[in-house]
């Protein structure tokens, strides 16, 4: 039980730290968001709008700093994130709603594929230790995982979209089309998403392979594996039901966590491929100094990660009784 | 163990406690024998030489606008010219300096923070450990790239120091966690007990007794942080959060992308700096992995089949 309490303490403190950082950063930095917007629109914004933005940020020059802080917290918890400058006058919430499905679909799928494929390769690589698989793949992926992944995206874009013309240059679907539920549209989405997804899979698969391989090597030396061998069980059964099953825990909790990083994981890939997800939205927010949008995105991203961490902890507690006893 | 990160499960408690002199020599011997380390160190050494002798290697002034724009690679311009007529090869050679500087400085700073936080947490124990551990956990889960982007945007100052600072703030937590676990496993060893009985101060014990026994892990963490720094700097500069007038590989990519180099038929402008970033990152990653193997013999490749 104390395990759960400690985790909740961590959850609360991190959430508080994120919120407070969001509150403090615009105040210690030069300029304020409302002024930034005023400058951006060359003073064409009405005084009412300025007031509204200041209220949304909790930027109320009359109140003292604590009053501002509590206003800010109240606004955040009631879902009042303010107005986007980039997509003026859309509320920040609407802007995020538009980008979210694309990011979840693209990066989520890519993460699941990388996890499944990487874990399987890790199992095989540890099973055949010293074999071809084991000799070539891990070092290759150490090297690949050190590639700047946006650059790998540029390479794929150059080779498969520009030179060979197999895939489109970017965006999530044909711009001549509009979003609808048809097979041809679904085809477009897959076709447009292929290269960005491939970029993510190639650069993230190495971590899954190495972790699985290294844990698997440890479990393969356990007595129960020797016992299974002595009993004459089939190699496939030993590999998956005895060794891999006990070695998968770190990868599984890692997977639960990486789902939380889905939103933030591929910002640069989305930028390279002009993919209309949240990463691309963040870049637009940065370029136009749209602080309300930036802060809300950061809050969402952190919240997603925190929930995933919590899920990973619960998963660990369920799957590995030892963590519960340690407290 | 609070947050579980992918490689958190690697046993770190296998560190062999040896004398100070012996440790350094054993480390050097293990490094030379390890092929991954050798490959990584060679590439790293190559870039260091390029950075030092940049003025001798580069054929032109990297910032001079003396040539035609978007020239294709030729004998006069090995990698062609940029959209405003600078020699790409010269830019690449001089860019090595800043890219290497960022990687080493940010890697060093992040490692220093991890050592201070991680080892203090383990050694002080109790409430300190709890607080520092919580602090580390918070930084471990904060999504680094968005955090870097947001802090970088707010600061509105795109200088080198800001870049290094932002990378340090976001890059120290993973190492701190690893160091804490290893320091915890060392805590009750007899030689530390002996030092305490001798009446040594905590600071002395940490610096002269604990740290030397964690050399290989600290070095591994440094190279891990350097990989992170190389990639983070490249990413930030690529989206325009670096100093656009500075000369580094990430900035080159930014200008290449801003000028639509791929569509304009100058892929070399994008390829060359990317290859350098990848090579430097991979070199650090290989050295890092080699140190992991040295610290944890179970991971070493086996030569003979069963």
Write out the DSSP string of A94-156: HHHHHHHHHHHHHHHHHHHHHHHHHHHHHHHHHHTTTSHHHHHHHHHHHHHHTS-HHHHHHHH
Tens digits of residue pLDDT in A2-20: 777 777 888 888 888 888 8
Tens digits of residue pLDDT in B204-227: 888 888 888 888 788 889 998 999
* Nearest chain A alpha carbon to B151: A25
| Of residues B183, B207, B220, B178, the one with CA closest to residue B20 | B207
Q: Which of A58-67, A296-305, B182-191 has the lowest mean pLDDT?
A: A58-67
What's the pLDDT at B297?
A: 59
Tens digits of residue pLDDT in B234-291: 988 888 888 888 889 989 988 888 887 777 778 888 888 999 999 999 899 888 888 8
Query: What average pLDDT does chain B have?
Result: 80
Task: Judge contact between A153 and A203, C-beta under 8 A.
Answer: no
Segments in chain B forming alpha helices (H): 20-33, 35-52, 54-57, 88-124, 126-141, 144-155, 160-171, 173-186, 190-198, 202-204, 215-238, 249-258, 267-295
Contact (CB<8Å) A289/B153? yes
Can you tell me the distance from the alpha carbon of A207 to that of B224, in angstroms, rounded to the nearest whole number?
14
Tens digits of residue pLDDT in A125-162: 888 877 777 777 777 877 777 788 888 888 888 888 77
User: Is A24 near chain B, with CB under 8 Å?
Assistant: no
Select from B4, B155, B230 the Cβ nearest to the Cβ of A29.
B155
SS3 A83: strand
Task: Judge contact between B276 and B96, C-beta under 8 A.
Answer: yes
User: Is B295 near chain A, with CB under 8 Å?
Assistant: no
Segments in B210-266 forming alpha helices (H): 215-238, 249-258
* Nearest chain A alpha carbon to B223: A146
Tens digits of residue pLDDT in B104-156: 999 999 999 999 998 888 888 788 888 888 888 888 888 888 888 887 777 76
What's the pLDDT at A49?
A: 67
Mutate to test the interface with A, among B1, B9, B134 (most CBs of A within 10 A): B9
Instruction: Tokens 């947001």: give the residue.
Output: B150
Task: Judge contact between A26 and A32, C-beta under 8 A.
Answer: yes
Percentage, residues of chain B above pLDDT 70:
86
- Rounded to 5 degrees, what are φ and ψ at B239? -90, 10
Percentage, residues of chain A above pLDDT 70:
79
What's the pLDDT at B279?
A: 92
Distance from the first to the final alpha carbon of chain A: 7
What's the pLDDT at B1?
A: 30
Mean pLDDT within B92-110:
93
Q: Which of residues 125-144 of A touch B (CB under 8 A)?
A: 129-131, 134-135, 139, 142-143
Mean pLDDT within B6-10:
38
More confident residue, B159 or B287: B287
pLDDT tops 60 at residue B8 = no
SS3 B2: coil
Mean pLDDT within B51-57:
87
pLDDT tops 90 at residue A227 = no
* Nearest chain B alpha carbon to A157: B262
The length of chain A in residues reads 327
pLDDT tops 90 at residue A99 = no
Task: Judge contact between B212 and B189, C-beta under 8 A.
Answer: no
| Of residues B288, B269, B285, B283, the one with CA closest to residue B45 | B283
What's the pLDDT at B46?
A: 93
- How deeply is B114 buried, as exposed, middle or buried, from its count of CB atoms within 10 A (0-12, 13-18, 19+)? buried
Can you tell me the distance from the alpha carbon of B194 to that of A248, in angstroms, rounded to the nearest whole number?
41
Contact (CB<8Å) B278/A309? no
pLDDT level of residue A34 (50, 70, 90 thresholds): low
Contact (CB<8Å) B227/A146? yes
Mean pLDDT within B3-32:
51
What's the pLDDT at A325?
A: 59
Predicted interface score ipTM higher than 0.90: no
User: Is B284 near chain A, with CB under 8 Å?
Assistant: yes
The length of chain B in residues reads 306
| Of residues A127, A276, A265, the one with CA closest to residue A209 | A127
**C-alpha distances in Å from residue B234, one per residue of A288, B81, B103, B160, B250:** 21, 21, 10, 13, 4
Task: List the Cα angle B35/B38/B40 in 5-degree steps.
Answer: 110
* CA dihedral angle for residue B180, residue B184, residue B185, residue B188, rounded to 10 degrees: 160
Contact (CB<8Å) B278/A147? yes
Can you tell me the distance from the alpha carbon of A271 to that of A284, in angstroms, rounded to the nearest whole number?
10
Cα-Cα-Cα-Cα dihedral sign, residues A181, A185, A187, A191:
negative
Task: Judge contact between A266 and A303, C-beta under 8 A.
Answer: no
| Of residues A175, A173, A198, the one with CA closest to residue A188 | A173
What's the pLDDT at A85?
A: 66
pTM: 0.79
Neighbours of B101 (CB within 10 A): 15
Residues of A in contact with B238 (CB under 8 A): 148, 150, 268
Neighbours of A221 (CB within 10 A): 10
What's the pLDDT at B13?
A: 38
User: Is B2 near chain A, with CB under 8 Å?
Assistant: yes
Q: Which of residues 223-262 of B touch A (CB under 8 A)?
A: 227, 230-231, 234-235, 238-241, 253, 257, 262
Tens digits of residue pLDDT in A242-270: 888 888 877 887 887 787 777 776 788 88
SS3 B81: strand
SS3 B87: strand
Tally C-beta pairs within 8 A across A and B: 174
Tens digits of residue pLDDT in A177-189: 666 667 777 777 7
SS3 B53: coil
Mean pLDDT within B42-70:
84
**CA of A270 to nearest chain B CA: how many angstroms apart?**
12
User: Is A151 near chain B, with CB under 8 Å?
Assistant: yes
* CA dihedral angle for residue A186, residue A198, residue A110, residue B5, rounded to 10 degrees: -170
Q: Which of A54-58, A204-208, B144-148, B174-178 has the lowest mean pLDDT?
A: A54-58
What's the pLDDT at A14?
A: 84
What's the pLDDT at B2?
A: 35
B97-101 — which CB contacts under 8 Å span 24+ positions?
B97/B51, B97/B54, B97/B247, B97/B248, B98/B160, B98/B246, B98/B247, B98/B248, B99/B230, B99/B233, B99/B234, B99/B248, B99/B249, B99/B250, B99/B276, B99/B277, B99/B280, B100/B47, B100/B48, B100/B51, B100/B280, B101/B160
């Amino acid at each position: 039980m104390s395990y759960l309490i400690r985790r909740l303490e961590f959850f609360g403190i991190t959430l508080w730290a994120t919120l407070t950082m969001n509150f403090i950063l615009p105040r210690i930095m030069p300029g304020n968001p409302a002024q930034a917007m005023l400058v951006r629109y060359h003073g064409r914004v009405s005084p009412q709008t300025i007031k509204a933005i200041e209220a949304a940020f909790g930027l109320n020059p009359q109140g003292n700093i604590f009053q501002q802080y509590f206003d800010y917290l109240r606004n955040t918890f009631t879902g009042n994130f303010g107005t986007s400058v980039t997509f003026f006058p859309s509320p920040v919430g609407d802007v995020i709603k538009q980008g979210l499905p694309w990011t979840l679909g693209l990066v989520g799928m890519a993460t699941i594929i990388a996890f499944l494929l990487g874990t399987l390769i890790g199992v095989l690589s540890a099973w055949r230790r010293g074999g071809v698989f084991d000799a070539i793949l891990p070092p290759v992926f150490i090297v690949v995982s050190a590639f700047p992944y946006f650059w790998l995206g540029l390479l794929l874009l150059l080779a498969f979209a520009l030179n060979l013309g197999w895939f489109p240059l970017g965006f999530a679907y044909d711009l001549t089309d509009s979003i609808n539920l048809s097979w041809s549209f679904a085809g477009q989405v897959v076709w447009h998403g292929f290269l960005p997804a491939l970029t993510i899979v190639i650069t993230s698969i190495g971590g899954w392979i190495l972790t699985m391989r290294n844990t698997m090597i440890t479990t393969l030396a356990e007595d129960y594996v020797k016992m299974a061998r002595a009993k004459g069980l089939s190699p496939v059964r030993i590999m998956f039901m005895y060794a891999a099953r006990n070695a998968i825990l770190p990868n599984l909790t890692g997977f639960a966590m990486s789902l939380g990083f889905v939103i933030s994981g591929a910002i640069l890939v989305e930028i390279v491929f002009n993919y209309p997800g949240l990463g691309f939205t963040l870049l637009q927010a940065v370029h136009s100094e749209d602080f309300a949008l930036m802060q809300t995105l950061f809050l969402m991203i952190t919240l997603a990660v925190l929930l995933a961490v919590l899920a990973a902890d619960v998963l660990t507690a369920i799957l590995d009784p030892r963590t519960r006893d340690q407290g | 163990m609070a947050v579980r990160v992918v490689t958190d499960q690697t046993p770190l408690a296998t560190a062999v406690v040896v004398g100070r002199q012996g440790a350094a020599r054993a480390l050097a011997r293990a490094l030379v024998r390890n092929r991954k380390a050798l490959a990584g160190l060679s590439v790293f050494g190559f870039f260091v030489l390029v950075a030092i002798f940049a003025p001798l290697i580069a054929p032109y002034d990297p910032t001079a606008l003396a040539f035609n724009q978007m020239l294709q690679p030729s004998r006069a311009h090995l990698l062609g010219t940029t959209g405003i007529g600078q020699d790409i090869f010269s830019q690449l050679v001089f860019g090595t300096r800043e890219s290497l500087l960022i990687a080493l400085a940010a890697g060093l700073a992040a490692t220093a923070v991890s050592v201070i936080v991680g080892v203090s947490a383990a050694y002080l124990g109790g409430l300190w450990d709890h607080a520092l551990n919580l602090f580390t956990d918070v930084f471990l889960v904060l999504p680094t790239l968005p955090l870097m982007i947001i802090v970088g945007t707010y600061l509105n100052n795109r200088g080198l120091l800001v870049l290094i600072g932002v990378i340090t703030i976001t890059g120290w937590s993973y190492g701190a966690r690893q160091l804490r676990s290893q320091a915890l496993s060392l805590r009750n060893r007899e030689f530390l007990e002996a030092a305490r009985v001798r009446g040594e101060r905590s600071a002395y014990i940490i610096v002269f007794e604990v740290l030397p026994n964690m050399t290989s892990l600290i070095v591994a963490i440094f190279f891990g942080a350097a990989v992170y720094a190389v990639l983070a700097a490249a990413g930030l500069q690529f989206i325009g959060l670096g100093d656009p007038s500075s000369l580094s590989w990430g900035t080159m990519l930014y200008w290449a992308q801003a000028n639509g180099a791929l569509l304009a038929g100058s892929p070399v402008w994008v390829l060359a700096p990317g290859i350098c970033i990848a090579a430097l990152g991979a070199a650090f990653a290989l050295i890092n992995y080699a140190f992991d193997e040295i610290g944890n013999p179970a991971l070493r490749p086996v030569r003979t089949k069963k």
